[in-house]
Structure 1
Amino acid sequence: METAGEAVRVLYVGDRRGTGDFAEYVGDEDAFTVTRVDDAATALDRLESETFDCVVGDVADGFGLLDAVRDRWPDLPYVFVASEGDDVASEALERGATDYLQRRGDCDQRALFVTRVESAVVRRTADGLVGTLVTQESADDDYARIATELRENETYLRKLYRIASNTELSYEQKRRRLLELGRERLDVDVGFVSHIEGDTFEIVDAVGSHELLQPDRTAPLAETYCRKTTEDEGLLSVEDAESEGWLGDPAYETYGLGCYVGAKIFVNDALYGTLCFADRDPRDRSFSENEKIYVELISQWLRYEYEQIADERALREQNRRLEEFASVVSHDLRNPLNVARIYLSMAEDSGSEEDFEQVRCAHDRMEQLIQNLLMLARQGDALAGVTDHDLSAVVAETWENVETDDATCQVEDGVTVEADRERLQQLLENLFRNSIDHGGEAVTIRVGPLDGVDGFYVEDDGPGVPEDQRESVFEHGYSTVDGGTGLGLAIVRRIADAHDWTVSVGESDSGGARFEVEF
């Protein structure tokens, strides 16, 4: 953003070394020119001699600097940065801070911090507009309305930050309270958060009485106002749907909303969904810039929180994988290594070929374990690209890569699978190897479509999986075959999960194992 065609001039005051410098965040933005100083005294000297559009106070004595700036420059936008763990939002805002941010060491706050600086300057612009109206229309009702709106804006901003910084509330509780607050701020009946996946629109959370705008309700995206929100560059606002050409639109026919304002929510730079406020009745005036900024601030907070949740989930998954790897290294690899050592010692004494063969088998098992581990470590749940594939063609190609001995494979045509081809091949290869390992060299494997649902099966005529073990076969380390790695079917489940498929095991007509993959 820019003011009067020039870059926004930011004075950044920071004396907390080793905690990450927010000045770098703003300095990376083309719309900002940043001057950095290390202490309050230097900052006050620079303010006396130069003009700035915003001050960022990131110092240990935060209130001392804030009070000094407010004494001399009461209208200058000021962003107060608090240390991690210091919950002083209310006091900072009451003492005159325009905006507030608390440091958090467990996340990247770049986008949120830039938004805080932007919103502080935008609100200064709005204050300037009021000053112009005072001069030109001091007796006009518009001034009274705008002045009242600005006072309301300050009140609701303080409420927003109190909710967002309340550590005693869960994320879901905060989200619900912010939806209620936004509905109150905009004087509308409905507030909701949506998740958009492809062409499907799903309401994640909602407040208000509209029967179709409730949590867990889904609809085609094409029949919602949110399709327009995702297409527009900024917010989408509709003050009077009938007069603005929405009659006959499927969204208006379905929901009957007379007014609407919606913002996009991004998570890690990918569209997650929308934040929206609406009412059946039209508004008698347009949504103001301050009202739109308020909606944007809530959407930015939602983005920030969603990203933290995603990061925490990824960290938990990473820790789980590390535990798996540690288990394999400490236990699964140790067993064949000990076997190899024992038989190598025996072979050195006896010279027996059978003893050397046991050493080779132990080494082969270790190699297979290492290959499976490397595949999990390098690829995890990542999908390179999901496209449509003819299952019979993928089966034929996979079969060539498996040591099949005298085993045979029969596959039905006409099954199309939307998948990452390489990961689909890995899934099939592991199922084929499982059948051969358990069913013997002459096992017969069949592949075909599921009845009544989208998906496919892979079954064999081997001994099958005992019913009391079917829930365990997909667990890491579980194997019923001597020398098995216990990772093959765990990898099958991970690949299925990455595609949002479900995989289960039952019994084939011949009494063998039947694995079903349902889309």
Structure 2
Amino acid sequence: MRYSVTDGGGDTIRILHVDDELDLAELTAAFLMREDNQFSIEMASNASNGLDRLSETQFDCVISDYDMPGQNGIEFLKTIREKYPDLPFILYTGKGSEEIASDAISAGVTDYLQKESGTDQYTILANRVRNAVERYWIEREAEHMWTQLESIGNEREQIIERVTDAIVEVDSDWRFTLVNEQAEDLYEMSNEYLLGRDFWDVFQDAKDTRFETEYRRVMETREPTSFVEYFSQLDGWFEVEAYPKRDGGIAFYFIEVTEQRERQQELEAERRFISEALDALTDIFYVINPEGTLRRWNEPIVEVSGYSEAELTEMSAIELFPDDEQSRIAESLETTLETGADKIEAEIQTSDGTQIPYEFVNRRLTDSKGELLGVVGIGRDLTDAKAQEQELRETKQRLDLVLEGTKTGIWEWKIGMDEIEWDNTLERMFGLEPDSFEGTYEAFAKRTHPDDLPRVEEAMNQAIETDELYHTEFRMIHEDGDTVWAEVQGVVIKEETEPDRLIGLYHEITERKQREEQLEMFASVVSHDLRNPLNVASGYLELTQKECESNNLDRVAEAHDRMDRLIEDLLTLAREGDNVTNIELVDLTSLTENCWRTVATAEATLTTDINGVIRADRSRLQQLVENLFRNAVEHGGEDVMVTVGELVNGFYVEDNGPGISEDERDDVFDVGYSTAEDGIGFGLSIIKQIVDSHDWNVRVTDGTDGGARFEITGVEFTAE
């Protein structure tokens, strides 16, 4: 929304006012324009929208509230300072404190003004805007003058530094004004012949080529460019740099690079031939640098390993092998470098954890002068070695478990023996030096909180007895004495039919536990300290409505309803969180119809085109569908048409309302985001939370009839 006055004199002062209370923002805009008719004011309802406006329009000053959804005023200021370090920014807020003022000053605020009652504050605000913008304009003009002076010096230096190149200058009408000797030689045209002639008349073959595109871009944008391109009229390749001139024309600096280009093309053709020949091999081919990184490989190694070309570039050779094989591979490479050759059998570990047996024949690689280049080798598949199949399955099982978890500590307990192994990561997490963990069950037990140890042992024994996944959360004691929360998962590995080892992951969750406690405290405050006064207010409102009639009372009732929805959604976000506690089979058709009956849908109509049963938390799924229905009615109107349909791996809910523009689709799931005047901005964020908690995916796209369509994918259907 923009407000401006155009009948005044002087330069327009463009102001961006960011405040989530639009009524107050509009009032402020009106008073500011009364104070100064040079003001042109555009408003945004939050920091995200404000940043979008700044990227689209040039402003002279930003006025921002402090307490807003998403980023607050201080965070908004810090974001602006990263890209617009000098832009005047006035924090105009009703939430004043010494702490906020101090933070604002530290963040680089231009001025700070607290909202007050009365209209005098707008006169003060207008004066501070004018003063800040005037200083900004003066500093910017001074900077511009220095830039112009530096540009003159830079142009001269560039000409001096590149006098060995061909130099050509044209004016704004594309007529030659300078041609140096090198350019005359390349053009085979004299300076006298070229000066004053039109560039495009002389070099007509340059039209509709990259030369014309780049030169005209420099002329129009006044930004320099550089490129390498073939020019048919001179039958050669040229490296060109073009710069804008102060008089409105442009200058070209260029050299012919035809020989270099032809040599490069020959080398590239030779490389392609070699690569194609190597890719035709069924064996894998590789070259390893002396430091152990992969230098070159053929296509079969990409197909076998499952790693992309980019991933292989960043890997060392031994990373293609399991941890317990890497030391042997390293020794074989050292032997190859020392003796000239070596052969070794080892298992390649692919990107998905599969291990494939291979035989590798390595040779030392040197150049024509005998300088060491690394190791070259061939690998042949040995999959038919049946004796290794069981070892492959066990190694893959362990690797899959690690890959499914996060990058946390790994532990292993040899069942029936007093031996527990921790990897170095887990040792570091507990403040231990690598390989310093005592390696006994007693050492683990003494680091487990005594109140939790019985429950931990019970869970481990149950996993061993039932062959189920071991998963529990408990407290442990850090080396410095601090108590930390741990989430531990493990799986039982059997030797023949008997449990042999318990292997798993350790993940510290102390911060998550602290957040859960804070959320529970927050939910208690919202439920009691906010809902109780609201219930009292609603009760007295109902009594007052019976005694008298007034449209104002209806608006109060609507505000109460909105507050009640806000409290309900806050409680959902705080208490439900990412919890999915009861996965069961859910009939989508039945659940959809039940949800429609529980939502106030007015004259809206529902069409269901789905017939499937999925695995989900019924309660959370019902919240998801109800919020989608409620969103469709709120944004599509009381007579909106809503359709629920089936996808290959999920379902969708769409309406025939106004839809959601593409530039807003990335923001709709943010907490507090809403385009409705009375929207509270939590409904779609709750939907995203429920989707994430099920490990599903959600995206917004266009509906069949132009409305909004929400697609939920990654859903597990079942035949039951």
Q: Normalising to structure 1: TM-score of the pair?
A: 0.42
Larger relative strand fraction: 2
Relative contact order (alpha carbons < 8 A, sep ≥ 6): 1 or 2 greater?
A: 1
Q: Could you state the TM-score of these two structures normalised by the residue count of structure 2?
A: 0.31
